[in-house]
Chain A
Amino acid sequence: RKEVEQDPGPFNVPEGATVAFNCTYSNSASQSFFWYRQDCRKEPKLLMSVYSSGNEDGRFTAQLNRASQYISLLIRDSKLSDSATYLCVGPDDKIIFGKGTRLHILP
């Protein structure tokens, strides 16, 4: 099992809907991860950090499920501008990026 795995998508979601995707990891001791957002042909930018207590920022919620070894990203009331690729990275003692999940918000 690879250290960090993501469903590549694409997820095609109508504007205003709620969408969630996961990132699974293999190191059961991991305690911190990050979600990055990458627009087409641009550099990745940090979206949220994910620790054991989870994190919420406006329409975005990130959680860490240690029992099942995955982190999740939930986007509520999705906007057209949310269309991007979402990368997870962890665990805390390494830098392993997932391959990314592509999200397309449809008008």
Chain B
Amino acid sequence: NAGVTQTPKFRVLKTGQSMTLLCAQDMNHEYMYWYRQDPGMGLRLIHYSVGEGTTAKGEVPDGYNVSRLKKQNFLLGLESAAPSQTSVYFCASTRTSTLLYEQYFGPGTRLTVT
């Protein structure tokens, strides 16, 4: 099993550009999550999904959209990137229906917005 994979690993955007980050898991997990991690701020939950076709807002959802059309994929979109969205983005998944449980993280996407 590959576990949780993220595409791309690195990206540089100009302000106003859009992009989509892809997260894929092959563990048949129900829950999937998107986080951002900034120096001194820790991991903050952006959006999450409790199953195919469902999404919910986390702690810092503004400026992001998500979709979960297939159980194994969770997409994070930035419609109009801003320098404040420069961060490391982590995707994670869990296998149970309990919100707080062991999370398996992807390797991260390092995004720079200039």
* Partner-B contacts on A (CB < 8 A): 8, 32, 34, 36, 42-46, 49, 87, 89-100
Count B-side interface residues using an 8 Å CB cutoff.
21
**Is the Cβ of A43 less than 8 Å from the Cβ of B90?**
yes
CB distance from B37 to the nearest CB of A (A): 9
Which of B11-19, B41-49, B65-73, B77-85 interfaces with chain A? B41-49
The DSSP consensus for interface residues of chain A is loop
- Taken together as a complex, chains A and B put the C-alpha atoms of A44 and B45 apart, in Å, by 14
**Is the Cβ of A95 less than 8 Å from the Cβ of B99?**
yes
**Is the Cβ of B105 less than 8 Å from the Cβ of A99?**
no
* Partner-A contacts on B (CB < 8 A): 33, 35, 40-45, 48, 58-59, 90, 98-100, 102-103, 105-108
- Taken together as a complex, chains A and B put the C-alpha atoms of A98 and B35 apart, in Å, by 13
**Is the Cβ of B43 less than 8 Å from the Cβ of A44?**
yes
Contacts of A46 in B (CB 8 A): 102-103
Q: Which residue of A lies closest to B102 (CB)?
A: A46
**Is the Cβ of A43 less than 8 Å from the Cβ of B105?**
yes
Q: Which residue of B lies closest to A92 (CB)?
A: B100
Please pick, from A45, A92, A93, A94, the residue contacting B105 in the complex, using a CB distance under 8 A: A45
CB distance from B107 to the nearest CB of A (A): 6
